[in-house]
Amino acid sequence: MSLSWRGAAVDPGNGIPTAAEWQPVELPGRPAAFAGADAVAYRTEFADPRGPREDHAAIELDGVYAHARVWCNGEQVAEHDAYFEPLRVDLPVEDDNEVIVECRRPEDRFGGVHATDEVPDAAAVPGVWWGASLETYPDPYVESLTAAPRIDDEDDASVDVAATVVTDEPLDDRLTLSLRPEGDARGGGTMNRASVETDPGRATVTGRLDVRNPSLWWPHDLGDQPRYAVRAKLDDAVRTTVTGLRSVEWADGLAINGQRAPARGVNLVDGTPADVERAVEANANLVRAHAHVLSPAVYEACDEAGVLVWQDLPLTGPGEFDAERGRELAERLERTRRRHPSLAAVSVHDDPVPAYAEGLGSGLIDRLRFRWRAWRAGYDHEPAESVADAVSEVPTVPVVGRPGVEPDAATLYPGWEFGDVGDLDWIRDRYGLGAVVAEFGAGAPADENPPGDAADGEPRPARADGGVGAAQSTQATVVGRTAEALRRRDADALAAYALRDVGDSEMGLLGPDRADKPAFERLRRAYEPVQAVLADPTPGESDLVVLHDRPTGSTLTVEWDVDGEREQTEVAVDAYGRATVTTLSLSAGDDVTLAVAVEDDVARNSYAI
């Protein structure tokens, strides 16, 4: 049941918030009128919604950012402090009712990217972002249901289920748990029963559903995405959720269902379902939720599209944090997102030290400066690692950061923050980085008038010399060459930063309206699962290398054209292999076109030397 809401910016306090004027707002949403407010209150009024056979009325809120309190008819009935965890509150309803929800900006270090200037104030309005409804239930009822898929072996799988039951009376009953395939998933259903014996209040019941001959969920470049409906039924009360059967582990690289799965990804900042569709167009099979938690709708889109999720905790930037609070949030995050087969990894602390290499070049002196600054960039891993230990069902990445702090996943920006793309090999070799790269890329404005105005009211100029065209060309070159270099050296996971501009950001492959910049097409070519690339597309000699991210070996037809001189050959390559086809002598001004064919698929690549 939807509700009509009014809102007001309020002064944070201890009592029920008051306002001189309440204005109509849409919830869920982020009312732009309250951008920049420290606290916003939302108010709704309704009559008793319960029917003759309904005993409970509960308000269900999702995406409550960031800390919140709820009042019903003047009585405080709930507090909340994790926006990624749904808030369901049984309300003491009367004939006529008033509910007030006060949302505040983060009161700790766990506001994530929305507590920084990486997103505009309008995207970080304290509020109810994802869902707001009033629901009625009989007594007893199933308040929530979680499902955790497990792969036991190639013929057997199971789903661990936890259901929370709410009752006003002592209860001695049996809860029926069932699972059935959806769509094209093969196999029959399964059922189990669990005893429910409890006093009035809440009780959590657990059980396991075994699945014979399961249909496994895969990333879109490796297979299909079958899913299963899980149901918990208690008398007339039913709650249903959906999951997919897959295993995920990190052992010499990311493995899905025991099979190697090289991850080619993009970072999402304030991600949306539409971003998932564009990520697939870019040949990405992974999205990294950069210092924020993706909404349930985005997770659903990833489940359906076969896109893996690298999920950050909402923790970014230098500074200490409460590790105990972090462990609690990590457990809650895993519990709320565990049913999604797309969930592949969780990382803890993003960018724990300030950027230190801006403006450094590629010469010997600049490399010495880089090494000195990296040496001084110290970081204590223990708190982040203790938080990572709280996650048990998917691999973890405790620290995402720059060289010098021994990150578990690196942020590498050669050609943008420092030097040029050719410095990537030096950085990787010097610091032992590159198997897992959380961020790489470069920035460029989407048009001649980037968002935001200068202090004098004049439009901000294009960032790079030569205007927007030159900036976009540089961005495309840096993004494409870096992606190819990382793949050529067998990076297990890499993620370009970022898919889309948010706010004043210029780091996106897409503009704020999702219009393409040239870097999007360049990354799409670099991310083709099977592709031919130049190891060094500069004047001189360069190896022509084939990248082959397929689970079986193949014989490929490779063609190269240098200024109209075309040659072709066949080359055999192993599963997930890299093969040098030939060495080309290149001159400045050469136009090089490459093509590689396997079965009926042809991927093309091009370079201007």
Average pLDDT over residues 51-58: 95
Q: Is residue 9's pLDDT more than 70?
A: yes
State the virtual CA torsion across 497, 498, 504, 506 in degrees, nearest 10.
70
What is the dihedral sign for C-alpha 525, 435, 250, 294?
negative
Average pLDDT over residues 424-430: 93
The CA-atom distances, in angstroms, between 607 and each of 66, 117, 592, 604 are 47, 36, 5, 11
Could you report the per-residue pLDDT of 241-261, keeping only the tens digit for each?
999 999 999 988 999 999 999
Predicted confidence band of residue 458 (pLDDT cuts 50, 70, 90): very low
Whether residue 281 contacts residue 319, with contact meaning beta carbons closer than 8 Å, is answered with no
Q: Is residue 61's pLDDT more than 50?
A: yes
Using the CB atoms, write b or e for 344-362: b if 16+ within 10 Å: bbbbbbbbbbeebbeebeb
What is the dihedral sign for C-alpha 389, 313, 65, 13?
positive
Residue 493: its pLDDT value, please? 97
Residue 187: its pLDDT value, please? 65
* DSSP collapsed to 3 states, 93-136: CCCEEEEEEEEECCCCCCCHHHHCCCCCHHHCCCEEEEEEEEEE
Residues 5 and 25: their CA atoms lie apart, in Å, by 6
The closest alpha carbon to 259, from 310, 222, 306, belongs to 222
Helix axes 424-431, 364-376, angle to 10 degrees: 40
The CA-atom distances, in angstroms, between 583 and each of 533, 540, 598 are 11, 10, 21
Residues 403 and 412: their CA atoms lie apart, in Å, by 8
Q: Phi/psi of residue 588, each to 5°?
A: -55, 135
Residue 465: its pLDDT value, please? 62
Average pLDDT taken over every residue of the chain? 94
Q: Is residue 307's pLDDT more than 70?
A: yes
Residues 302 and 289: their CA atoms lie apart, in Å, by 12
Region of poorest pLDDT, from 40-54, 365-379, 457-471: 457-471
Q: 95: exposed, middle or buried (C-beta count within 10 Å: 0-12, 13-18, 19+)?
A: exposed
Whether residue 582 contacts residue 544, with contact meaning beta carbons closer than 8 Å, is answered with yes
Q: Is residue 154's pLDDT more than 80?
A: no
Residue 158 CA, chain-centre distance (Å), reads 26
Whether residue 303 contacts residue 125, with contact meaning beta carbons closer than 8 Å, is answered with no
Residue 1: its pLDDT value, please? 81
Residues 199 and 195: their CA atoms lie apart, in Å, by 13
Residue 339: its pLDDT value, please? 98
Residues 102 and 78: their CA atoms lie apart, in Å, by 11
Residues 314 and 292: their CA atoms lie apart, in Å, by 5
Q: What number of other Cβ atoms are within 10 A of residue 505's Cβ?
A: 19
Residues 417 and 388: their CA atoms lie apart, in Å, by 29
Q: Is residue 459's pLDDT more than 80?
A: no
Could you report the per-residue pLDDT of 325-346, keeping only the tens digit for each?
999 999 999 999 999 999 999 9
Whether residue 266 contacts residue 495, with contact meaning beta carbons closer than 8 Å, is answered with yes
3-class state of residue 410 by DSSP: strand
Q: What is the CA radius of gyration of the chain?
A: 26
Could you report the per-residue pLDDT of 98-142, keeping only the tens digit for each?
999 999 999 999 999 999 999 999 999 999 999 999 999 999 999
Q: Is residue 219's pLDDT more than 80?
A: yes
Q: Is residue 188's pLDDT more than 80?
A: no
* DSSP-derived secondary structure for 591-604: EEEEEEEETTEEEE
Predicted confidence band of residue 565 (pLDDT cuts 50, 70, 90): very high
Counting residues of the chain whose pLDDT is more than 70, the rounded percentage is 97
Average pLDDT over residues 223-230: 96
Counting residues of the chain whose pLDDT is more than 90, the rounded percentage is 91
Average pLDDT over residues 446-465: 51
Residue 322: its pLDDT value, please? 98
Q: Is residue 463's pLDDT more than 60?
A: no
Residue 462: its pLDDT value, please? 40
The CA-atom distances, in angstroms, between 38 and each of 291, 467, 503, 587 are 20, 38, 19, 58
Whether residue 487 contacts residue 517, with contact meaning beta carbons closer than 8 Å, is answered with no
Contacts of 58 (CB under 8 A, 6+ apart): 88, 89, 90, 91, 134, 135, 136, 137, 143
Residue 353: its pLDDT value, please? 96
Residue 456: its pLDDT value, please? 38
Residue 449: its pLDDT value, please? 62
Q: Is residue 451's pLDDT more than 60?
A: no
Residue 450: its pLDDT value, please? 52
Average pLDDT over residues 419-438: 94
Could you report the per-residue pLDDT of 359-391, keeping only the tens digit for each?
999 999 999 999 999 999 999 999 999 999 999
State the virtual CA torsion across 128, 133, 135, 140 in degrees, nearest 10.
-20
3-class state of residue 6 by DSSP: strand
Angle at 121 between CA 120 and CA 126, to 5 degrees: 135
* DSSP-derived secondary structure for 143-207: EEEEEEEEEEETTEEEEEEEEEEEESS-EEEEEEEEEEEETT--S--EEEEEEEEE-SEEEEEEE
Predicted confidence band of residue 455 (pLDDT cuts 50, 70, 90): very low
Average pLDDT over residues 28-36: 97
3-class state of residue 241 by DSSP: strand
